[in-house]
Amino acid sequence: GAGVSQSPSNKVTEKGKDVELRCDPISGHTALYWYRQSLGQGLEFLIYFQGNSAPDKSGLPSDRFSAERTGGSVSTLTIQRTQQEDSAVYLCASRRAGFFNEQYFGPGTRLTVT
Amino acid sequence: DQQVKQNSPSLSVQEGRISILNCDYTNSMFDYFLWYKKYPAEGPTFLISISSIKDKNEDGRFTVFLNKSAKHLSLHIVPSQPGDSAVYFCAASASRGTNAGKSTFGDGTTLTVKP
């Protein structure tokens, strides 16, 4: 079946512009995660959606970052007034219900802020 | 405070030998541990996992060992193959508490298997 998809695959934007990154999780997966991987770094947790519960936003680095998940499926990560330090690969992952299951990752969106 | 640490940024082994990747954690609430493998320009893919009720889980050439008292886990790959060359991430999750369902990742270890 189809895996997690993300769009765009690459995004170059000017400093100060807003960007939207999209994630289509695997159908039926109740949990959805966003991570960021800066060059040479590990996976930095950003936000976690679980079913209809309030999202865990504890990893969002500033109030310029926000995310929503509509209808329990597609998610959009929005970065307002982008800064050069926002340049990174943004990864989305989804997981079946049940905490003892693995996450399935998308290919990521490479964001470059010039 | 980094709750999951992979202290070796890189590891190089000869084809056919054993690769051992290590991971340490600090949060005693973690009760499920996973290893992911990542190739360049791709998202991580799940490799193997272990629950805290076990101390070993084996899947083909891959074995994960968990030492709860030391808060340490390791991934053994034997025999190592050139196609195993990738970045390996250790992740830890808790099934209870305020962080239930959220995974914490280490910084990764880059494994190079030389032919």
pLDDT grade for A32, boundaries at 50, 70 and 90: very high
- Higher model confidence: residue A42 or residue A77? A77
Residue B8 CA to residue B23 CA, distance in Å, equals 9
Instruction: Using the predicted structure, report yes or no on whether residue B98 has a pLDDT greater than 70.
Output: yes
Contact across the interface for A50 and B51, Cβ inside 8 Å: no
What pLDDT, on a 0 to 100 scale, did the predictor assign at position B59? 97
- Quickly count: other Cβ atoms within 10 Å of residue A89's Cβ: 20
- Average pLDDT score over residue span A59-76: 93
- Position with higher pLDDT, B21 vs A71: B21
User: Is A65 in contact with B59 (CB distance < 8 Å)?
Assistant: no
Asked if B43's CB is within 8 angstroms of A91's CB, the reply is yes
**CB-closest option in B44, B106, B108 to A105:** B44
Take residue A100 and report the two structure tokens written for it. 């003892």
**Three-class SS string for chain B?**
CCCEECCCCEEEEECCCCEEEEEEECCCCCCEEEEEEECCCCCCEEEEEEECCCCEEEECCEEEEEECCCCEEEEEECCCCHHHCEEEEEEEEECCCCCECCEEECCCEEEEEEC
Strands A88-95 and A109-113, bridge-based pairing? antiparallel
Record: contact A99-B101, CB cut-off 8 A: yes
Quote the mean pLDDT of chain B.
95
pLDDT of residue A97: 86
B10–A contact, CB cutoff 8 A: no
HSE on the CB side for B30, CA within 13 Å?
26
> At B97, is the pLDDT very low, low, confident or very high (cuts 50, 70, 90)?
confident
> In chain B, what is the greatest distance between 2 CA atoms, to the nearest angstrom?
46
Chain A interface residues (partner B, CB cutoff 8 A): 4, 31, 33, 35, 41-43, 45, 48, 50, 56, 91, 93, 95, 99-100, 102-108
| Res. A98: pLDDT tops 90 | no
* Residue-wise pLDDT tens digits, A46-56: 999 998 888 99
Mean pLDDT of A65-70: 94
Local confidence band at A99 (pLDDT 50, 70, 90 cut-offs): confident
Cβ neighbours, 10 Å, residue A97:
12
pLDDT at residue B19 is higher than 70:
yes
Instruction: Please indicate whether, in this complex, the C-beta atoms of B32 and A99 are within 8 angstroms of each other.
Output: yes
B104: contact with A, CB 8 A cutoff:
yes
| DSSP 8-class letter at A55 | P
- pLDDT the model gives residue A51: 87
Q: Encode pLDDT of B26-74 as tens digits.
A: 999 999 999 999 999 899 999 999 999 999 999 999 999 999 999 999 9
Place of tokens 């307002």: A80
Angstrom distances, CA of residue B4 to CA of A109, B10, B26, B65: 25, 16, 7, 16
What local confidence, expressed as pLDDT, does residue B51 receive?
95
